[in-house]
Structure 1
Amino acid sequence: MAGHSHSANIAHRKGLVDAKRGKLFSKLCRAIYVAARNGGPDPTANLRLRYAIDKARSVSCPKDNIERSIKKATGELGAENFEEIVYEGYGPSGVAILCEVLTDNRNRTAGELRRLFDNAGGNLGATGCVSYSFAFKGLFVVDPKVATEDKLMEVALEAGADDVELVEEYYEVTCAPQQFEAVRKALEEANIPTESAETSYIPSTYVDLDVENGKKMLKLRDLLEENDDVQNVYANDNIPEEVLAG
């Protein structure tokens, strides 16, 4: 697995979706709720809500769940109060980790995350301790079977993408967050499907892990993602392929 690959965990993550589908729906609906509460219930005028709904639909989240989350955000079904926080820390071998969180109890979440980091041989750090190692960008992952490099570059760069790179088995298209919608629309109109399309924290450097620390890091990732409050986990880990395959 290439050290700079940001999409190498895709197959592993997809394999976990079915086993954790109920928990995943809950997290996606929480993200929909916060997006609708902050930007309004109309996805045509609230791009963050549209992305959250699209992500939920991509894993077959029930329509009723989505609509109920939006109604909660507008006060029709009672109010909830979630706070958005990014926690930072270190994993095995000094891997830098960012956790995007939506929580209704900051103290509870911080305590739970600190315990998970400690148990994996890492530690929860202060704000800013690792975020400088990441850049927030739009990221599209495309299977080379659906488009040639020339075609993909023509469509993506014309729409404002920064780069198109073949990383292991996938093309990775990156862009500024402000260009995400333009690039997404251009790929869609060109009939170029994506394996994933999201805004993401992308590491500037990676930490190569041996098998032992790769297993520890993968376990920590899984434990963090199982936490109800954690929406996304980003890390600059390069986990050996045999660990992911196992």
Structure 2
Amino acid sequence: MYRFEEQTRDRLRELAPSSTVLVPVGSTEQHGPHLPVGTDTTIVTAIAQRAAAAADVPVVVTPTLPYGFAHHHLPFGGTVSLGLVGYLDVLTDIGRSLAVDGFRRIVFLNGHGGNDGAVRSVGDRIVFERELDVHVAGTSYWTCAADALADTDLGVGPVPGHAGGFETSCMLALRPELVRRELMPAPEPDLQPLAYSDIPGATIRRAGVWAASDGRTDDSRHASAETGERALALIAASVAAFLAGFHRSAQ
């Protein structure tokens, strides 16, 4: 695993033709009363770096993009959001830059729900609209690890959810000093309405559901660092396997 920002221009020129470049994308947004606004960025960065280190192919990991499409979080404060079209333009420009650098295998790994549509579309922009000769993939970490997660009961609520047991567990494993335990929501008898807003097979948006849910999917009563570490290891292994398969499919 190579960190893009730690290499010289000449070293990156050497690495580019034979490596997959992995671009983690996160967000800066509210995560309830107890988690830092950089939660998505922290989690996807850790997953990307662990997966790249575990993959048996050469992977260069870029710095994580800390901003995304998060307009639905703006009413809560603590959020920096890019417009949807502008965000897709940013991803496209990143991909184009990497292609000019000589990379021919590019993976965008997403860690924020609001980015999912743009991340799925950026390959069409780069390959077909920009007509660049590159191999591009876009996926969210929970999509990449869907099979492994479906076979594992973490016991912390929806995965990934938002500002609930799963993300709190991951942050307790990665940056426990940033989790405000004393501000965790009290245990609740049911999930928030936000947790029920999706139907399998479709992307659904409903006005008012975020406000009705206090910007969360569930409470954090079962969160633990041990569960977070287990989840991160499981997801990183799935992403590593995906990176290896993607890399070899471009040969």
TM-score (norm 2): 0.26
Between structures 1 and 2, the one with greater strand share: 1
